[in-house]
Chain A
Amino acid sequence: MKNPPERYRCAALSVVKHDYVPRGVASHPRFELVVVADDANQPAWVHERNQKFADEYKVPYVRDVERALSEHNVQVAVVSSQVERHCDLSIRAIERGVHVVQDKPMSTTVAECDRLLAAIERKPVKFLMWNRNFLPAVLHARELINAGSIGKPYAIHVDFYFAKDAGPPKGSRPPAAKPMDWQEHQIKAHADGSDGGLAARPMGELQIEGIYPLAYIRMLTGASVRRVFARTARHFHQVNVDNDVDDLGTVSLEMDGGLMGTLCIGRIGKASHPDIGEIKLHVLGERGGLVISEARPEAAIYYRGQPPAEYRHRRLAVDNDYLQLDNLLAALEGGGETILDARGSRDICATVEAALTSARTGRCETVQ
């Protein structure tokens, strides 16, 4: 890119879910948040969250996405809306030649992902799906694999258990209680950041969080998933039972080049791990194996009177946000794609969709 700007002008298009995405973007010295925007017809709670974020960053909040993109000369849109609006907001930015950083998941439907891909084909911009691929331990795994430490990988497994609650436990409410409303629950869950499934339509853990471990697999192997066999369960939380979406899932993966693997994922409840959860990578290669704890490096802090909700183990030296934005910069200014681009994100959505189908049919399913 000739004459890149000193700082890219960014618009946060809806900040109702994971504000860590626009915060991460804004924290990089080459990106500047200049406006928050959303559609005027959004409910009051959406505007309230957007306004609060805009006030914190001392930027305007504009209730008109297209006007904000145009009047503020936006170059990068950061999308963190309700899930069903992810692709729509991103596409509207893409159609104006605006690059996009989007919160996960890309969408809950492959059709929406394909619509976004088509938009990028018509208007080539850079797309970065927010991810965890630059965590220290994941980078370390990549370094070891690329150095040939275990030879050519032939199997990769990710066990991805989030030790978070999601409302009352399964079976803890009276039988006559009204089923829990998904969106209502997610809106309340914003208070502790466990609102990754913020959407009008319920979504299970494979859809909410599956992109993270599947993105690890994609980055570490370079392989696409071709076929899956999956099982899912509503095992922990009443809201998942009431809305018939999984909070526990297991997926066997068949990938390019004969590579095999598995994904085990769940929102397993706060009591089930002393910290945020157990996240491990196991990689087997022709000359050995790797066992990687995603949480390392970490330090442990304990003290009398420590609140139960406070994590005892704290992750250290996490530069994931900065490195993701560096990666985006490299794509913007040097060409090439981001670490998790639209095509990769779409393939991950298709993998999840196939897994959910497999869980229903009890058969292996091909990834579309």
Chain B
Amino acid sequence: MTITTKIGFGEKVTAPVVILGQDEDLEGKIVVATKVVGREFLEKAGLLGVAGVVVPSLHWRDYSYFQNLNEYPLLVLLKFGRLDLASDLVEKLEGLAGKKATLDGEKHELKSD
């Protein structure tokens, strides 16, 4: 399955996927948030050593801030702002839990086998 978006940054990483809220161990994982997250989570993600982060939406100024920090690749699935995902996309993403995926921030892509 491949999800392509228009907003993202960062290098390509391959790691297991964890859905935010379903597992507390985020280190070395691609963390997929199915609901809107705030800046605080993204700051914590850097400290926890995540492999990458996928979010539904993000304010532009936060995106710009973390893009400059460039601590991990980030993918924004919808657009800038505060928007939640539709339930069918949530379901699709939850299906990735525990599987290995490749997150490519530059190509704006999340790919799993």
- Tell me whether A and B are bound partners: no
- Residues in A lying within 8 Å of B, measured CB to CB: none
- Residues in B lying within 8 Å of A, measured CB to CB: none
